[in-house]
Amino acid sequence: MTSAICAVMSNVWAQSTIKGTVSSEGENLPGVSVLVEGSAAGTVTDIDGNYSIEVPAGGSTLLFTFIGMATEQVAITGRSQIDVSMKADATELSEVVVTALGLERDKASLGYAVQQVDGSAINTAKEENFIRSLSGKIAGVNVRSASTMGGGTNILIRGNSSLSGNNQPLFVVDGVPVNNSSYNSSSQLSGGGGYDFGNSASDINPDDIESVSVLKGGSASVLYGSRAANGVILITTRKGSQGKTKVTVSSGVTFSKIDESTLPEYQNQYGGGYGGESMPVFSYDAAVHPASWASFDGQEMVEYDADASWGPRFDPNRNVRHWDSWDESDPANFGQVRPWVATPNGIESFFETGVAISSNVSIEGGNAKNSFRVGYTDYRIDGTMPNSTLDRRTFNASMTNQLTEKLTSTFSANVVRSEAEGRAGTGYSDDDGLSIMAAFGNWHQRQLDISRMTKWKNDEGVQRSWNRSAYDNPNPAYWDNPYWTRNENVQSDNRDRFYGKYELTYDVLDWLKVTGRAGLDFSKFFRDYRVAKGGVVEFVGRGAYPLYAINTDIEKQQNYDFFANIEKHFDNQIGISALVGANFRQQNWERTILGTRDGLVLPGVYAISNSASDNINYDEYHQERKDQAVYGTLNLSYADLIYAEGSYRHEWSSAMPAPHKFGYYAGSLSFVFSELEAVKSFSALSFGKLRASFAKTGNAPRRYRTNEVPNYTAGDKYNGNPAYYVQTAVNGDLEPEITKDVELGAELAFFNNRLKLDFAWYKRRSFNQLLSVPVSGSSGVYYSYTNTGEIENDGIELALNATPLQLGKFNWNVNINFSKNNNTVTDLPESLESIEIASVYELSQLHIKGEDYGSFYGRDYVYDDQGRKVINSFGTYELSDYKVLGSIVPDYEVGISNTFTYGNLSLNVLIDIKEGGEIYSQSHRWLRETGNAAETVGTNDLGNPIRNDPSATVDDGNGNQIANPAQGGVVLNGVMADGSENTTRISASDAHHDSNNPEAASIFDASYVKLREMSLNYSLPKSIIGKTPFNRVVISISGRNLAILKKNAPIDPEVSYGVGNSQGIDWGMLPREKSYGFKITAQF
């Protein structure tokens, strides 16, 4: 006991107490973290900047840290009083961002909005397409992702600027523009059926990204010319650095499950059929049927050929013949009856657990003159859809060499190989039913058990379809077995891509350097499509056939820049920086299409030679474009107080009519008022800047719209001879689309940068729209290209960064990004009332003068002057004339990111919010018509099931027929045209039929609040890894799309079929996926 007490007292005596005050420029600092290096001892300064800390035995150094201040390390050396004066951190005060041409600039000098995201914010909770990871993290950037494996991501910066052209920003990697093409068909992009192959920017490996900068306005992107009319996404990749060679290895696994809240809500009270409570009954005929079937006589059968659920109410005591009981190759089920009950395994059971495995290794290092980095990533996905895989392998290499004292070379190369099989069919196409959700998800029977469909064909290769044409005819009546679709109608594709650059920089003088840069982006994309014999296309006359087709796209983009940088300062007050340069770009694109025609001869043989017709489908395309430009920018600064900048770019493009030239310009001014002596006395203000900018930019026509040679389109052969026609006339007077924008902004920082605000207001007018407008048929063509139409975007953005709490090892940081954009069509050609970008039966998505971009146009209910719905004489709703029903444009968007750090542990949570806007769901409309929707069941005003016969009567005992007390049907809520009460009772099927309901009934609020991302990271301390070969080990747990905290739509409000101008239309949208991942990163 005595020895124990002595040991404790010895430890206490070995401790010492140190007190002191922490200040900066004469002002005491509260909340400064004070730690004893190498121990857990720590405290924070009080409101007066004072602290007191117990230093354990062996403690030799105090660490003082505070947001916006340089860390101070002070040796204790036996002292009991240590006062510290902290200095502002120059790296905090002078934030460097990447701007046009990949040049780094002091953010304080910029007169326009640029927002940057660190690479760790992209690759911690990894997505297969890194663009998805930008959602909610940058103000003014709208991200809308498809829910398919490898699907595209639509990204807009400050809204849509073009009525018919591309609205995606330019992607630039290490200063070189790269291709972001989408290979989806125009039908697929508007929900009409097809495959989503994603967008080419998905080839950019998130593991190689150092940072992403977003250039939002014309002033920021003008040096890139017409390619940057929609803004720029600047990606800076990781590079090697001076020091010991480091090897980093990471491996992660992510599991995905569908979010069932984004599936439609189905009813589970009634099963398949069209005929109410009755079912067909098997009648044995000895002359027709085998003798063994005699025992089947009198058995009830499901209406196999029905693709709706207006059949009998479920009854577990009612035993019936289900679809698979007629398959003699399945003896366990043949001839069996089973209870008439709702499925225990609905469409949610069709989706599997997706698994993504990511493995990455990189090596980097360098010395005073050379640096390098090489990396390899293997990213493999087994999707949530059966038989779906994607494998992307990326090799990245970069090297910087100081060849002489003044000459430096930079090289980077990226080689990507992507292979996919079994991408999901999207949208609705009734000729092949390749989309599971548009087909089975809408048109099915509620008793169907998905688990019984996993054997999709019998031993003879005949499809086992739930939708048999009859009990004795196994061929599908309307729809294939979904497992047949996923295993027989298989799509596959592969893409090989190289993009990179070589750059030389020569320091001519200490204030002048010149740079030459050559970039190349080359890709070859192969796709094949299969639709098997034995499927619905062979038995239902919808104009489609079994097929095999292959498409190959080859694209090459060469980009050359030569520019000179000048940077000179005079008397430490006046600064001049300038850039002058020239650019040459050449693009080549080739496409070859081969396909069978009129079906396949042999089943299972997928070759063009197996075509049922010798007149196979064959098309070739070749396009080329050349652009040249000179550009320059001049920036003047005074005393780090005022910055003025002007930029100009002049282009010559082969896509333009002679003389092929046009020019863009921009100007900006920024005033750093926090540098004024009168303002410096306000200690709460760390930084303050006002900025203003204006710009004129443009969007050149696509290739071959202005040339004198008409664009011929190949038609079907005529009498065995090739036939061609001209659909759209070219126009030699076309001009670029023009965008003029202005921007005003302010940047403020308070309390030693613990609170930062960046505010922007902008207005952008895009006119001279490049449109194809109808012309008189007597002209010999159908359309002509012209310049007409105008779009206006105006809005505000606010980016906030704050550190509300910093206590010892604990730190709380919050980032909030808010944006509001109004996207309005302000003018159209006189000959057009609207421009259609998509249509779904009676609903269209249109550009209409005075309305939001891409407004939904359809029929609404008719309301009287008291706001009551009007009912017609049939007891159904009166439908209005066609009108605007809403648009996808949100009222505002907010991203809220909270990061909590305690020592080596950090937790990040991202909430993504969109408020306002609308979506349209054709699925909702069809699910009502087919009786599969939850809203097609329930009780009526009499307390009876609405599916009971609405006209049922009973004898009153006196021979008179009166209404049955169990009468079903509904009396719709509304009034007659004269204002009298509606008393007409109609059937539930009539009440929900799409012909009796307006499109407005399937328009839903697109608002949502999503838990978009969460990650937990733990960096193992030196005490654990100190004796291992590793100098850093990080363990990460992450999740994406974890929960929809609020939504008003019955499906996922984030409806998208990929990259395109039509967004927000649901034609059998796949459910959104939740993902949960684990990753470990080690460096040695």
Contact 572, 589 (CB under 8 A): no
Cα distance between residue 83 and residue 19, in whole Å:
8
For residue 987, give Cα distances in angstroms to 276, 309, 725, 920, 940.
11, 14, 52, 25, 11
- Show the tokens assigned to 1051: 């499906």
Cα distance between residue 559 and residue 984, in whole Å:
71
Pair type for strands 492-509 and 512-531: antiparallel
Cα distance between residue 888 and residue 1007, in whole Å:
10
Give me the DSSP letters along 984-1047.
--B-HHHHH-GGGS-GGGGEEE--EEEEEEEEEEEEPPHHHHTTSS-SEEEEEEEEEEEEEEEE
- Show the tokens assigned to 435: 């989309």
Q: What is the mean pLDDT of residues 239-260?
A: 93
- Residue 899, CB half-sphere, CA atoms under 13 Å: how many? 17
Cα distance between residue 956 and residue 877, in whole Å:
33
Q: Which one has a higher pLDDT value, 80 or 716?
A: 80
Contact 983, 906 (CB under 8 A): no
CB atoms < 10 A from the CB of 812, how many?
Answer: 16
Nearest to 794 by CA among 228, 140, 112: 140
Contact 262, 1070 (CB under 8 A): no
- Show the tokens assigned to 25: 């420029």
- Give 380-401 pLDDT, tens digit per residue: 999 999 999 999 999 999 999 9
Contact 785, 767 (CB under 8 A): no
- Give 863-912 pLDDT, tens digit per residue: 999 999 999 999 999 999 999 999 999 999 999 999 999 999 999 999 99
pLDDT > 70 fraction of the chain, expressed in percent and rounded? 95
Upstream peptide bond of 998 is cis (omega within 30 degrees of 0): no
Answer whether residue 92 shows pLDDT above 70.
no
Per the listing, tokens 């009954």 go with: 281
Contact 134, 765 (CB under 8 A): no
Answer whether residue 6 shows pLDDT above 50.
no
Cα distance between residue 905 and residue 810, in whole Å:
9
Write out the H or E segment, with its range, that includes residue 407. strand 407-421
- Give 522-544 pLDDT, tens digit per residue: 999 999 999 999 999 988 877 78
Cα distance between residue 52 and residue 161, in whole Å:
59
Answer whether residue 11 shows pLDDT above 60.
no
**295 φ, ψ to 5°?**
-70, -10
Contact 80, 19 (CB under 8 A): yes
Answer whether residue 3 shows pLDDT above 70.
no
pLDDT at position 155, please? 94
- Give 40-78 pLDDT, tens digit per residue: 778 888 877 899 998 888 788 898 887 667 888 899 888
CB atoms < 10 A from the CB of 646, how many?
Answer: 17
Per the listing, tokens 């405290």 go with: 43
Contact 878, 972 (CB under 8 A): no
Give me the DSSP letters along 822-859.
EEEEEE--TT-SEEEEEEETTEEEEEETTSBTTEEEEE
Cα distance between residue 246 and residue 353, in whole Å:
36
- Show the tokens assigned to 626: 């050349």
Cα distance between residue 848 and residue 832, in whole Å:
9
Amino acid identity of 116? Q
In the chain, CATH 2.40.170.20 sits at: 114-258+355-429+479-854+889-917+1006-1083
- Give 648-702 pLDDT, tens digit per residue: 999 988 887 777 778 899 999 999 999 998 998 898 999 999 999 999 998 877 7
* Average pLDDT in the chain: 91
Structure confidence at residue 717 as a pLDDT band (50, 70, 90): low
By CB atoms closer than 10 A (0-12, 13-18, 19+), residue 930 is buried
Q: Which one has a higher pLDDT value, 523 or 707?
A: 523
DSSP bridge pairs for 939: 945
Contact 87, 69 (CB under 8 A): yes
pLDDT at position 953, please? 84
Amino acid identity of 465? S
> What CATH fold (topology level) applies to the domain 2-91?
Immunoglobulin-like (2.60.40)
Contact 292, 427 (CB under 8 A): no
Nearest to 357 by CA among 128, 119, 120: 128
Structure confidence at residue 13 as a pLDDT band (50, 70, 90): very low
Cα distance between residue 1064 and residue 1058, in whole Å:
11
pLDDT at position 705, please? 67
Amino acid identity of 421? E
Structure confidence at residue 8 as a pLDDT band (50, 70, 90): very low
In the chain, CATH 2.60.40.1120 sits at: 2-91
Identify the CATH class of 114-258+355-429+479-854+889-917+1006-1083.
mainly beta
Question: Which one-letter DSSP state was computed for residue 735?
Answer: -
Contact 148, 1024 (CB under 8 A): no
Q: What is the mean pLDDT of residues 933-961?
A: 91
Q: Which stretches of 754-908 are DSSP H helices?
A: none
Answer whether residue 5 shows pLDDT above 50.
no
By CB atoms closer than 10 A (0-12, 13-18, 19+), residue 918 is buried
Nearest to 553 by CA among 522, 524, 588: 524
For residue 924, give Cα distances in angstroms to 307, 927, 999.
15, 5, 10
Question: Which one-letter DSSP state was computed for residue 540?
Answer: S
Cα distance between residue 200 and residue 160, in whole Å:
20
Contact 168, 464 (CB under 8 A): no
